[in-house]
Each structure stands twice: as structure tokens, then as C-alpha cells.
Amino acid sequence: MIQLIVSILLYFVIFFGIAFIVNMLLRRTWLMACLYPIIIIMMIDGMPTTAYFKAPGESFSKLGEELATLAAADITILISGFVGTIVSGIVIKLLRKSGYQMF
């Protein structure tokens, strides 16, 4: 149980930080929130990304099977990372609205 809580906090903080830095550098507020699912798919599927273009039917079928076999704890951890990217976008928007010009 403690590992789950630490993992949730870790994913939230890591993806909040990565998204915050990417948002500051590229000035695209929601870029990481859009890229996050792609990053997670690359982590979960265990296939090369080119397989989605070479054999899309088989690749997406395998991805569906992999997603269906994820445990509830894994899903919770991944969702916390996604929430971190969303909170980062909200914080960036609030800071820009307050007058802070980041890069």
C-alpha cells in the first residue's frame, strides 16, 4: 500500500515537472497532456512504434490486450501522471495570467 502511494506521488511530481519545463520552453500549454498517452503506450506495449504503421491491426489488437491486463494499481499510477500534466498546464496558465513571462 505504501508503494502505491509513493508511486502515485512520484508519477504526479515527475510528469508535473516534465510538463512544466516543456511548457516553459515550447510555450505550448497542453502539449504534454496530448503527448502523455503516446508516451504511456510506448511504455506499455513493448513493441516498436513502427509496428503501428507496418501492421496496425495486429499492433492495436496487442495494445488492447496489454491495456486490458493492467492492474488497478497500475492504472491509478498512470492516471496520476496524466493528472500531473494537466495540473502543470493549469499552473502555467495561471502564472502567465498573473504576468509571469516564462522564457
Q: How confident is the model at residue 103 (pLDDT cuts 50, 70, 90)?
A: low
Residue 10 within a domain: yes
Quote the domain boundaries for residue 20: 2-97
Residue 64 within a domain: yes
Residue 103 within a domain: no
pLDDT in tens, 43-90: 888 888 899 899 899 989 999 999 999 999 999 999 999 999 999 999
Residue 102 within a domain: no
Report the distance separating Cα 36 and Cα 91, nearest Å.
Answer: 17
Name the pTM for this structure.
0.85
Largest CA distance in the chain: 49
Residue 39 within a domain: yes
Indicate the number of domains in the chain: 1
pLDDT in tens, 25-50: 888 888 999 999 999 998 888 888 89
> Cβ contacts of residue 17 below 8 Å, gap of 6+?
88
Q: How confident is the model at residue 24 (pLDDT cuts 50, 70, 90)?
A: confident
Q: Could you tell me if 66 and 44 are in contact, meaning their C-beta atoms sit under 8 angstroms apart?
A: yes
